[in-house]
Amino acid sequence: MTMFWTPRRSVSALVATAVAALIALVALPAALGALGTGGLFATGTESDRAQSRAEQLQTASPDLILAVADRGGPGPWQKQVRTRVRTLTSRLSSDPEVGTVRSFALSDDPWLRSRDGRTGLVTVSLIGSAKERRDSAERLVPQARAALAPLRVEASGTAWATSRSDQRIKIDLLRAELLAAPLVLLLLVLTYGSLSAAMLPVLVAALVVLCAVPVLGILAQYTDISTFAVNAAAAIGFGLSVDFTLFILARYREENARGTPRTQALEVALRTSGRSVLCSAAVITSCLAAVSAVPVPLLRSLSVAGITVTLLAALAALTTVPAALTLLGDRIDSGDPLRRLRRSAIGEVSTFWRTVARGVTNRPLAAAAGALVVLGVLAWPAFETRLGVPDERGLPQSAPVAQAAADLRQRFTAPPERLHIVVTQGSAAAVSRYAAALARQPHVHDVRVLPSSSTRPGERMPTEDQDSVLVVAADVAPDSQEGARLVQAMRSLPAPGATLIGGQTAQNLDTVTTLRRSLPWAAAATAMALLVSLTLFTRSVIAPLKALAVATLSLAASAGMIAWAFQGGHANGLLGHFTLTGTLDGCLLVFTLAVAFALAIDYEVFLLGRIKEEFDQGRTNRDSVVEGIAHTGRLMTSAAAALALSTAAMTTAEVTMLKLVGAGIASAAILDAVLVRGVLVPAVMTLLGPANWWSPRVSLRREGTNRPPDRRAESATEIG
């Protein structure tokens, strides 16, 4: 048979790869500049429509808040200070990227003054997309500080918090990647005993991450792709690329160590492990595609970025890796600094994992019960999970924007984040009665009717059935249960006409509700895609169902560990200090669990493929399980360790969002590779026996009548 990966084709493939990398490097600055912010709140909800309508009426919630205080002086209400702030207010109002401005210098509004009278607020509503508002805030804040110097100007608000978060995330992830790369390289050298073999996965991973950014930059022209999503996906893509490369490299070296010529060993590796890579990429992509259907821009952005790096990782593993192996030849095994210390040759079966597998399959019921108990204990905290939406508290407490926001909560009677925007229709009398009813709700201390662009000049309130905007000031936090109940109570009140209730509290509630309603559909779509893919891969009905059940258990344990660490705060100190909010970021939790679930299936596909291969060669079901674990145990643990290192490095970040993603994926990868694949899966497969491979269309051989294994033919045997 003619070999596809000839030296000539391999050179062409690597030249094409180098050209792609060069183009990606040149396009990198433009791609990074095209990235957006990824909205935190669900779209299409009542609060989203309320915000849009309030913006049309020029009464929207502010995106940028400037707190002005005189440094040690008598306060911001002295004449000179007010004059300077009026000038700044005028400049802001005339800016084409500014919608509305409210200033303490133009009003005696107590909402714009601190309780001690020493600080005043200038609130700014911006126009444009989330990215444009962030960019506007980055331009306006330095201008405001320069115009009011030496007055102290502290900035907060969603646009400025997003800007500061993006800047901090870039720094944190760069540090994490610089830390992870040498650690992963060291791990691979220790595991695979060759500098060449260790460098190949790292170089392929770096290539995938580099090429992913321009691709996402192009996609950002059509949908909002956030900077955070790209950076998080880069860390995940690095680990996933290492995994895919190791799957093929390990099988290639195993076949070659058995005496198979390198060209044939590569063909076997691509037919077996390469097929596993394709199936894994399909399952991971399907899982993330289902999650992308949830109408939250940040979650959709994370999913699109994850899909991109997954497809690129699979493409590189199936093209760049075989081309490199063809040209490297024997050099792939050169440069082992620990050759004299190794007890077994590279490519040999793991005696440790064979011993573990034999112990598990000898007592499968006890092993399965023990694993289930551990998973159940780990999953228990997940039952108390409370979802929320991130804010500036995800930054370090020392961050100026976090301190400014905390100062607003403590020193002002009506912090902008606790204001509820109500857009309704009706006559002046009806709106007044409605405002009085709102004022009687628990935790409400003031209600105002604002003039809007639809109000006639000189009128405070409408006299006809037209849009009116009411602002409800509450004394409960946006992410509190009391705040959610207040929004629900306001929405249940009889209104004079069509009414929309918005504000940050309503946006938080609507986003969490959207997540809860959408996730069952996303889970069903993911399960269907998984069952179809694994049925085609294994040609069995039972094995995919078992894989789905085991992956779900692993997912529950991962959710419990995340809740215990971040909602319960037990990882505070261990993973650096972060602010406890009593909730978990819903979008990041869903994305992290989706990746963890996909990784569980990734390892399941590789393990199932090898066990099925052993079974088809004539081994009994139990022996197939033992040999499958023996041949893949070392690979799965080293691949999981490499992925865990690349993502765990994110826990060194100062931003809680990165800590959650990094710790969640790293712990899930190790848990799944060691406990689930090493103990639970072989125990369950032993208990199921030949039923693992039952299919209504295929008459499987009986376990006792399988022909003896032919190890000489193994290198030429395809899976399934």
| String of DSSP letters for 211-242 | HHHHHHHHHTTTS--BHHHHHHHHHHHHHHHH
pLDDT recorded at residue 117: 82
Among 2.60.120.10, 3.20.20.370, 3.30.70.920, 3.10.150.10, what is the CATH number of 401-509?
3.30.70.920
Residue 124, strand partner residues: 64, 101
Contacts of 451 (CB under 8 A, 6+ apart): 459, 460, 461
**Bridge-based pairing state of the strands 98-103 and 119-126:** antiparallel
Supply the DSSP string of 377-397, one letter for each residue: HHHGGGGG--EE---GGGS-T
- Half-sphere exposure of residue 346, counting CA atoms within 13 Å on the CB side? 26
Least confident of 68-77, 193-202, 426-435, 657-666: 68-77
**Bridge-based pairing state of the strands 419-426 and 500-503:** antiparallel
Distance CA(252)–CA(333), nearest Å, equals 11
Q: Is the pLDDT of residue 474 over 70?
A: yes
Q: Is the pLDDT of residue 461 over 60?
A: no
Least confident of 193-202, 546-555, 659-668: 193-202
Between the CA of residue 469 and those of 421, 465, 494, what are the distances in Å? 7, 13, 16
Q: Which two tokens stand for residue 216?
A: 């996402």
Least confident of 190-204, 391-405, 578-592, 644-658: 190-204
> Is residue 460 classed as helix, strand or coil in its secondary structure?
coil
Tens digit of each residue's pLDDT (9 = 90 or more) over 609-624: 888 888 888 888 899 9
For residues 462-471, give the mean pLDDT: 73
pLDDT recorded at residue 290: 87
Q: Is the pLDDT of residue 296 over 50?
A: yes
Q: Tell me whether the omega of the peptide bond preceding residue 682 falls within 30 degrees of 0, making it cis.
A: no
Q: Is the pLDDT of residue 708 over 50?
A: no
Distance CA(653)–CA(38), nearest Å, equals 20
Question: For residue 337, what pLDDT band results from cuts at 50, 70 and 90?
Answer: low
Q: What is the mean pLDDT of the chain?
A: 84
**Bridge-based pairing state of the strands 387-388 and 584-585:** parallel
pLDDT recorded at residue 76: 62
For residues 367-393, give the mean pLDDT: 91
Backbone angles phi, psi at 507, to 5 degrees: -65, -40
Instruction: With beta carbons less than 8 A apart as the criterion, state whether 667 and 558 touch.
Output: yes
For residues 476-498, give the mean pLDDT: 91
Task: Indicate the domain borders of the chain.
Answer: 7-33+163-392+510-716, 63-156, 401-509
Q: Is the pLDDT of residue 455 over 60?
A: no
For residues 91-112, give the mean pLDDT: 89
Tens digit of each residue's pLDDT (9 = 90 or more) over 61-78: 889 999 998 765 556 667
Question: For residue 452, what pLDDT band results from cuts at 50, 70 and 90?
Answer: low
pLDDT recorded at residue 336: 61
Q: Is the pLDDT of residue 704 over 80?
A: no
Q: Is the pLDDT of residue 341 over 60?
A: no
Q: Which CATH class is domain 63-156?
A: alpha beta
Percent of the chain with pLDDT over 70: 91
Question: For residue 224, what pLDDT band results from cuts at 50, 70 and 90?
Answer: confident
Tens digit of each residue's pLDDT (9 = 90 or more) over 539-585: 888 888 888 898 889 889 999 999 999 998 888 878 888 888 888 88
Percent of the chain with pLDDT over 90: 27
Q: Is the pLDDT of residue 679 over 70?
A: yes
Number of neighbouring beta carbons within 10 Å of residue 87: 13
For residues 53-57, give the mean pLDDT: 85
pLDDT recorded at residue 71: 62
Distance CA(391)–CA(232), nearest Å, equals 18
Hey, do 63-156 and 401-509 end up sharing a CATH topology, with the first three levels equal? Answer: yes
Q: Is the pLDDT of residue 383 over 60?
A: yes
Distance CA(213)–CA(306), nearest Å, equals 11
For residues 369-389, give the mean pLDDT: 92
